[in-house]
Amino acid sequence: MITESQVKQALSQVLDPQLGRDLVELGMIKQIETEGELVTFTLALTTLTTPIRDQLRSEAEAAVLSLDGVNSVQIELAEMSAEERQEALSKARPAKDTGAPLAEKLNDVSHVVAVMSGKGGVGKSLVSSLLAVALRRQGQDVGVLDADITGPSIPKMFGINGHPSASPLGVLPMESSLGIKIMSINLLLPSEDDAVIWRGPLISGAIKQFWQEVVWGHLDTLVVDLPPGTSDASLTVMQSVPLSGVVLVTSPQDLAGMVVRKAAKMAQHLDIPILGLIENMSYFVAPDTAQRYDIFGPSHAADTASQLGVALLGELPLDRQIAELSDRGRIEEYPAEAFTPIAQTLINTMPAAKEPPPLNH
């Protein structure tokens, strides 16, 4: 009669080449059952989309079949919970590698969307946050990379405090209450009020590290919150991160429209797809009368989108509830009905992430 202990012993000889530990030590083997010559168990992977899934399953099956008295093995695949994944990663002992950072090799990110405004004050970080929340509500695995190194606000809006933990694979991102993975320079500072007084190369280096050395794992979409403008930080993202495209954010003022057109030209110059335009603070609806007011003047969103030849994804209202929830770190509680169709449009239309082209200009 085959025992559970014998099965575990056999499976302890199978190593996960990415994590450098055996399957039992990593907590990947669950629910072992033996019945006569049949052995069944669950193989819990860090992510079901890992490229070594079939390899691990095949090696685990072969290891158990090597036991005397075993003629059949049934393996059910499952995905670890966030807590189990973090514990497994903390045990990792990867081999030394002089190539790309290990986290970047292991990450499986299907789509990367950069949110770009051209100028500050139009609500780019708000759009990034609500887009991430809307995608998460659509059932996606989502992350937010806060590339606004000198003006980070994402952790505050999501109510995330503390510091990320490290593993042999890289830095583990923090997670929001809805399970959105988040990395920001503010999570690495002694105090959230500390200023980051860095020159361009240091800022660019930090952004590259957030992409290459953070263990994002499997994500359907990573939202990158860019700083305003078209300088070093935005250029670094567009040339270092495999983008699916950019979402442009503007506001009704004609000045904002002029500046967002500059951002659009930068994206076009670098051959980055523009997924669409969002106008924030388009109007205000009085709660007592339901009367609509164009606080910042009439909308220019349709004209701007037409000039750029891109889709107008939506016009978002001024809403005091957004400010209140953001200040309290509870942005995920905002209903954001206007974002539901925007998220669905992006899910249906955005291309897969692709390596950025070299800059030849």
Q: Are 103 and 164 in contact (CB under 8 A)?
A: no
- Going across the sheet that includes 72-79, the strands are 29-35, 38-45, 72-79
* CATH number for position 199: 3.40.50.300
Do 85 and 160 share a domain, yes or no? no
Does 354 reside within a domain? no
Do 71 and 109 fall into the same domain? no
Q: Which among 240, 258, 235 has a CA at the least distance from the CA of 361?
A: 235
Residue 355 falls inside a structural domain: no
Q: Is 131 helix (H, G, I), strand (E, B) or coil?
A: helix
In a domain, 356, yes or no: no
Chain segment 279-319, per-residue pLDDT in tens? 988 888 888 898 989 888 888 888 888 888 999 998 888 88
Tally the residues of the chain: 361
148 and 31 co-located in one domain:
no
Instruction: Mark whether 13 and 111 lie in a shared domain.
Output: no
Q: How many CB atoms lie within 10 A of CB 76?
A: 11
Among the three residues 90, 122, 140, which one is the final residue of a domain in this structure? 90
What is the sign of the dihedral through the CA atoms of 299, 300, 303 and 307?
Answer: negative
Cα–Cα distance, 251 to 121 (Å, whole number): 9
* 2 Cβ contact list (under 8 Å, min separation 6): 34, 37, 39, 67, 69, 70
* 119 and 77 belong to one structural domain: no
Task: Indicate whether 25 and 113 sit together in one domain.
Answer: no
Residues 287, 152 share a domain? yes
Q: Are both 188 and 266 inside the same structural domain?
A: yes
Return the ∠ at Cα 81 (arms to 75 and 82), rounded to 5°: 145
Contacts of 168 (CB under 8 A, 6+ apart): 20, 89, 92, 93, 94, 102
Same domain, 208 and 338: yes
Query: How far from 259 is each of 121, 124, 151, 154, CA to CA, in Å?
Result: 12, 13, 19, 23
Asked if residue 118 and residue 260 are part of one domain, the reply reads yes
Q: Is 310 helix (H, G, I), strand (E, B) or coil?
A: coil
Among candidate residues 246, 106, 75, 248, the one with its CA nearest the CA of residue 172: 106
Q: For residue 348, give the 3-state DSSP assignment.
A: helix
pTM over 0.75: no
How far is it, in rounded angstroms, from Cα 299 to Cα 83?
46
Q: In terms of domains, do 86 and 184 share one?
A: no
Q: Match 């019945």 to its residue by tokens.
A: 35
Residue 171: inside a domain, yes or no? yes
Domain boundary residue, one of 90, 121, 136: 90
- Assess if residue 188 is contained within a domain: yes
Residue 123 corresponds to which tokens in the numbers above?
A: 């609500």
Residues 122, 59 within the same domain? no
In 101-143, alpha helices (H): 102-106, 124-137
Domain of 37, CATH number, reads 3.30.300.130
* Helix (H) or strand (E) run with residue 55 in it: helix 53-65
Domain that holds residue 186: 102-349
Q: Would 206 be classed as within a structural domain?
A: yes
Q: Write down which residue in 30, 55, 90 finishes a domain.
A: 90
Residues 6 or more apart from 239 whose CB is under 8 A from it? 270, 356, 358, 359
Helix (H, G, I), strand (E, B) or coil at 311: coil
Instruction: Give pLDDT, residue 98.
Output: 43
Q: What per-residue confidence (pLDDT) applies to 353?
A: 76
Number of domains within the chain: 2
Place of tokens 């986290």: 103
> Is 145 among the domain residues?
yes
- Assigned domain for 359 exists: no
Q: In the prediction, which pLDDT does 85 show?
A: 85
Regions of the chain where pLDDT drops below 70: 49, 51, 93-102, 119, 168, 191, 193-200, 229-231, 256-257, 355-361
Q: Could you tell me if 187 and 174 are in contact, meaning their C-beta atoms sit under 8 angstroms apart?
A: yes
